[in-house]
Copies of this chain bind each other. A is one copy, B any other.
Amino acid sequence: MSAETPNEVMVVVRDLPWIRMIDGIDFRLLFTSGETGRWSVLFRCQPGSFFPAHKHYGAGEYFVLQGRMEYRMGSAPGGTWGYEPLGTVHEMTKFPEYTELLFTNFGPVAFLKEDGSVLAMLDHVYLEQLARA
């Protein structure tokens, strides 16, 4: 049984469409894997937008291209790289100004209810569905 080798790709990111994710946050889809669940996107976040409480069921990695991201580690301006280990819970991740960041997650992210149980799963399949819609 053999899992396919993905194609070699070179793409000018600004040529990709913006896809709406949640209020004030859109993404351009760079990569998804049906084998490992890894997904890579470019996020653009309008001033005042935010991700609600979530838990990383796969490690995450980001690079802020411009703007500023505020989360439990502090304030991350343009040029910041970060690693979010598997299991990390982020109460709220805020964008006080217009922000663009590259983001890769190695598996799903669970959005949480107030009691900590799972509200909804964000994974590569959901991103692909949004991209096709």
- Residues in A lying within 8 Å of B, measured CB to CB: 1-14, 30-37, 40, 42, 57-59, 61, 63, 65, 73-74, 76-77, 79-88, 102, 104, 106-108, 110, 117-118, 121, 123, 125, 128
Contact = CB atoms under 8 A, between A and B. Distances in A.
Given A13-B80, A13-B81, A35-B36, 12 more contacts: A2-B128, A3-B35, A4-B4, A5-B85, A33-B35, A34-B87, A35-B59, A35-B86, A36-B59, A57-B107, A57-B108, A61-B104
Contacts of A102: 63, 102
A4 B3 contact: yes
Copies in the complex: 4
Contacts of A1: 6-7, 9, 11, 30-32, 83
B35 A83 contact: no
Contact of A8 (B42, B65, B85): B85
Most B CB contacts (10 A, CB to CB) among A31, A36, A118 go to A36
A10 B121 contact: no
Given A32-B3, A35-B6, A102-B102, A14 B79 contact: yes
